Amino acid sequence: MRRSLSSEAAPALGEYERATTTVANAYVQPVFRRYLARLAEGLRALGASSELLLVQSDGGTIHQAAAMRYPVRLVQSGPAGGAQATALAGAAVGTRDVLAFDMGAPPPRPA
Protein backbone atom coordinates (compact mmCIF):
# COMPACT_ATOMS: atom_id res chain seq x y z
CA MET A 1 0.00 0.00 0.00
CA ARG A 2 1.37 3.37 -0.97
CA ARG A 3 0.47 6.36 1.14
CA SER A 4 2.15 9.48 2.33
CA LEU A 5 0.73 11.46 5.26
CA SER A 6 2.20 14.90 5.78
CA SER A 7 2.16 14.46 9.57
CA GLU A 8 4.45 11.45 9.13
CA ALA A 9 6.52 12.36 6.06
CA ALA A 10 7.25 15.94 7.16
CA PRO A 11 6.30 16.49 10.80
CA ALA A 12 7.22 20.18 10.88
CA LEU A 13 5.38 23.48 10.85
CA GLY A 14 4.54 25.12 7.56
CA GLU A 15 1.82 23.84 5.27
CA TYR A 16 3.72 24.58 2.04
CA GLU A 17 6.83 22.74 3.23
CA ARG A 18 4.79 19.81 4.51
CA ALA A 19 2.75 19.60 1.33
CA THR A 20 5.69 19.72 -1.09
CA THR A 21 7.74 17.27 0.97
CA THR A 22 4.81 14.87 1.15
CA VAL A 23 4.18 15.10 -2.60
CA ALA A 24 7.87 14.43 -3.28
CA ASN A 25 7.79 11.48 -0.88
CA ALA A 26 4.76 9.94 -2.60
CA TYR A 27 6.26 10.55 -6.04
CA VAL A 28 9.55 8.74 -5.40
CA GLN A 29 8.16 5.91 -3.24
CA PRO A 30 7.50 3.38 -6.03
CA VAL A 31 10.92 3.79 -7.65
CA PHE A 32 12.73 3.84 -4.33
CA ARG A 33 10.90 0.73 -3.08
CA ARG A 34 12.00 -1.22 -6.16
CA TYR A 35 15.56 0.08 -5.83
CA LEU A 36 15.84 -0.87 -2.15
CA ALA A 37 14.29 -4.27 -2.74
CA ARG A 38 16.89 -5.00 -5.45
CA LEU A 39 19.69 -3.66 -3.23
CA ALA A 40 18.66 -5.80 -0.25
CA GLU A 41 18.29 -8.85 -2.48
CA GLY A 42 21.73 -8.28 -3.98
CA LEU A 43 23.32 -7.89 -0.55
CA ARG A 44 21.68 -11.11 0.66
CA ALA A 45 22.96 -12.88 -2.47
CA LEU A 46 26.46 -11.73 -1.51
CA GLY A 47 26.05 -13.22 1.95
CA ALA A 48 25.09 -10.15 4.00
CA SER A 49 22.80 -11.18 6.83
CA SER A 50 22.44 -7.99 8.88
CA GLU A 51 19.58 -5.52 8.62
CA LEU A 52 19.92 -2.86 5.93
CA LEU A 53 20.28 0.62 7.43
CA LEU A 54 20.55 3.77 5.33
CA VAL A 55 21.88 7.24 6.08
CA GLN A 56 19.26 9.98 6.50
CA SER A 57 19.61 13.64 5.64
CA ASP A 58 20.35 14.41 9.32
CA GLY A 59 23.25 11.93 9.41
CA GLY A 60 21.36 9.33 11.43
CA THR A 61 20.33 5.93 10.15
CA ILE A 62 16.96 4.54 9.14
CA HIS A 63 15.88 0.91 8.70
CA GLN A 64 15.10 -0.33 5.19
CA ALA A 65 11.35 -0.63 5.92
CA ALA A 66 11.12 2.95 7.17
CA ALA A 67 13.23 4.21 4.26
CA MET A 68 10.81 2.58 1.82
CA ARG A 69 7.96 4.46 3.48
CA TYR A 70 9.77 7.80 3.78
CA PRO A 71 12.38 7.99 1.00
CA VAL A 72 12.33 11.78 1.17
CA ARG A 73 14.23 11.55 4.46
CA LEU A 74 17.30 10.39 2.52
CA VAL A 75 17.47 13.31 0.06
CA GLN A 76 20.62 14.87 1.56
CA SER A 77 22.16 11.63 2.80
CA GLY A 78 25.25 11.99 0.59
CA PRO A 79 26.59 15.16 2.21
CA ALA A 80 25.49 13.94 5.66
CA GLY A 81 27.28 10.61 5.15
CA GLY A 82 30.36 12.44 3.89
CA ALA A 83 30.48 14.53 7.06
CA GLN A 84 30.12 11.41 9.21
CA ALA A 85 32.86 9.62 7.24
CA THR A 86 35.15 12.63 7.59
CA ALA A 87 34.70 12.64 11.36
CA LEU A 88 35.44 8.90 11.50
CA ALA A 89 38.53 9.30 9.31
CA GLY A 90 39.81 12.08 11.55
CA ALA A 91 39.23 9.98 14.66
CA ALA A 92 41.05 7.05 13.04
CA VAL A 93 44.19 9.15 12.63
CA GLY A 94 43.81 10.87 16.00
CA THR A 95 42.71 14.36 14.99
CA ARG A 96 39.54 16.40 15.18
CA ASP A 97 40.87 19.04 12.77
CA VAL A 98 39.64 17.63 9.48
CA LEU A 99 38.33 19.44 6.43
CA ALA A 100 36.09 17.94 3.77
CA PHE A 101 33.91 19.29 1.00
CA ASP A 102 31.30 17.92 -1.35
CA MET A 103 32.02 19.23 -4.82
CA GLY A 104 29.21 17.49 -6.66
CA ALA A 105 29.04 16.97 -10.36
CA PRO A 106 29.88 19.69 -12.87
CA PRO A 107 26.90 21.37 -14.51
CA PRO A 108 25.89 20.06 -17.93
CA ARG A 109 27.37 21.84 -20.93
CA PRO A 110 25.00 23.84 -23.07
CA ALA A 111 24.01 22.15 -26.32
| Strand segments (E) across the chain | 53-55, 61-63
Residue 87, judged by CB atoms within 10 A of its CB (0-12, 13-18, 19+), counts as middle
Strand partners, 53: 63
> Residue 27 pLDDT > 70, yes or no?
yes
What is the overall mean pLDDT for the chain? 87
| Predicted confidence band of residue 2 (pLDDT cuts 50, 70, 90) | low
Q: Where are the domains of the chain?
A: 6-92
**pLDDT tens digits, 77-98:** 888 888 888 999 999 999 989 9
> Residue 61 pLDDT > 60, yes or no?
yes
CA distances from 90 to 32, 54, 61, 96 (A): 32, 22, 20, 6
- Per-residue pLDDT, averaged over 53-62, amounts to 89
> Residue 72 pLDDT > 60, yes or no?
yes
Strand partners, 63: 53
